[in-house]
Amino acid sequence: MAELVAVIASTHHPFYYRASTATGEDRPPFADEWVRKIEAFRETLTKARPDVLVMVGSDHFHQFWLDNMPQFLVGKAPFYDANWYNEEREFGLPKMFLKGQEDLSAYVLREGLDAGFDLAFSNELRIDHSITCPIITLRPQNDLPIVPIYTNIFAPPLPQPKRFVQLGQTIRQLIESWPRAQRVAVIGTGHLSLELGGPRQFGPHGPDPEFDRKAVDWIAGGDLEKCLGEVTLESLHLPGNATHGFMDFMLMMGVAGEGQKADYTDTYDLFHTMEAYFTWYPGGGAR
Amino acid sequence: MSKYLLNKFLFTVDRDPDLVERYREDPVGTVSWWEAGEANRILGSHGGESSTWLRFDDTERAALSTHDYPKLFELGAHPFLTLTLFIALFERDHEPMGFQTEYARRLAHFTLPYPDIAT
């Protein structure tokens, strides 16, 4: 059977690539500390020695559109091109190319359907920065095959928060029952409080530091019960109009498990948003 | 009223470098051309299979034709689509992050709950 060797939840900040590679006058003052934090976070994945990465993210109206919008979708392809023209334009992200772990994609689809999730699929998926950002931060050598899983946190009507948690729990069960001797890490990215295209955007901090503090505590403590008790589709409008991306963090709490404290937690208070990085080692430590 | 069609305009222009420049230089002409020939196109299908019923109302057409992004927010256009496209259009005319902060200031009169973006 496969082994789940690491569960990682992270924000995906599309400006990291540009900030971390800028030099001279173009390098922002917060870049050096940001790079230090990312390199420490990266080590938590490296130590787990994964063979395969299951990558949870959300398409930002790149390939999926309102004429045909999946709620949860699994990529099943041998390869994935990545990053789109408007991400290159706005964030300076490079074009990328990733290998797919197609047999695990097929397994997740078949077994996921049978476990009660009517997953959509894509055999030709160009992935976006919700998945390439964590490749850039956590595995910049981009040498491992992936299974991309997209969630809809973007175009209402959205699934309820509990469905994200349940999907995370199901993903964990499927990985642990995959009959291949492979070391699998699950990496999912989302947001804490975030406002995009609204009056609270691009402030000196995230739009709701109090929500961010609570959210970090829920995630770090694995406190799914409290999180699910406070978070609803309606309540997520309050901390910022793009905060529904927090449900991808809830999905990752589902992968990690109720009551499971993160083995690694770090945050970085940037303009515009709070960065947050979490790693769990399900087997009790990287081996 | 069609939030969907507003979003379709923002989506299809934003992903096409030539259309981004055309919309920046000639918003009235671009909106008129797009509504006449593109609004009903089912993405990924040829023109013979286009829809027949999609059009802007006057308020929507005016908002797009005047680059009025606060109005688009009020009408319930998807804020991520609007922000992304308008950064492409106008960030170049400002100091770094200057357009984004001006954008927030111009929306400052909106309070919660924001206009519904469900389509």
Q: What is the pLDDT of residues A262-281, one digit of tens each?
A: 999 999 999 889 999 999 99
Q: For residue A283, what pLDDT is reported?
A: 82
Looking at residue B1, its pLDDT comes to 63
Q: Choose the closest CB to B107 out of A60, A156, A198.
A: A198
User: What pTM, to 2 d.p., does this model score?
Assistant: 0.97
Q: Do A37 and A25 touch, CB atoms closer than 8 A?
A: no
Bridge-based pairing state of the strands A72-75 and A120-122: parallel
Contact A66 B4 (CB under 8 A): yes
Helix (H) or strand (E) holding A72: strand A72-75
Interface subset of B 51-110, CB within 8 angstroms of A = 73, 78-84, 87-88, 97, 100-101, 103-105, 107-110
Q: Which amino acid is at B33?
A: W
pLDDT at position A23, please?
97
Per-10-residue mean pLDDT of chain B, 119 residues long, equals 94 98 98 97 93 97 98 98 98 96 98 97
Can you tell me the mean pLDDT for A180-197?
A: 98
Per residue in A87-124, pLDDT (tens digit) is: 999 999 999 999 999 999 999 999 999 999 999 999 99
Give A125-181 pLDDT, tens digit per residue.
999 999 999 999 999 999 999 999 999 999 999 999 999 999 999 999 999 999 999
In terms of Cα–Cα distance, which of A219, A232, A285, A229 is closest to A258? Answer: A219
Mean pLDDT (whole number) for A209-219: 98
Closest CA to A260 of A241, A246, A274, A280: A280
Are the beta carbons of A281 and A261 closer than 8 angstroms? Answer: no
Question: Averaged over A185-200, what is the pLDDT?
Answer: 98
Question: Residue A91's closest CA among A192, A36, A19, A196?
Answer: A19
Would the pLDDT of A287 be above 80?
no
C-alpha span between A267 and A10 (Å, rounded): 10
Alpha carbons A44 and A32: distance in angstroms, whole number: 19
Report yes or no: A244 at the B interface, CB cutoff 8 Å: no
Instruction: Kindly report, residue by residue over B13-35, the tens digit of the pLDDT.
Output: 999 999 999 999 999 999 999 99
Instruction: For residue B105, give how far its alpha carbon lies from the nearest alpha carbon of chain A (Å).
Output: 6
Q: Which two tokens stand for residue A128?
A: 């976006």
pLDDT at A216 over 90: yes
Q: In sequence order, which residues have a C-beta less than 8 Å from that of residue A49 and are 6 or more positions away?
A: A5, A183, A286
Return the SS3 of B61: helix
Contact B15 A85 (CB under 8 A): yes
Distance from CA of A86 to the nearest CA of B (A): 6
Size of interface A-B (CB pairs under 8 A): 76
Give dist(CA A267, CA B21) in Å, integer.
39
- Residue A222: CB atoms within 10 Å: 18
DSSP symbols for B89-118? HHGGGSSTTHHHHHHHHHTTT--SSPPP--
Are A202 and B83 a contacting pair at CB < 8 A?
no
Q: What does the alpha-carbon distance between residue A188 and residue B31 come to, in Å, rounded to a whole number? A: 38
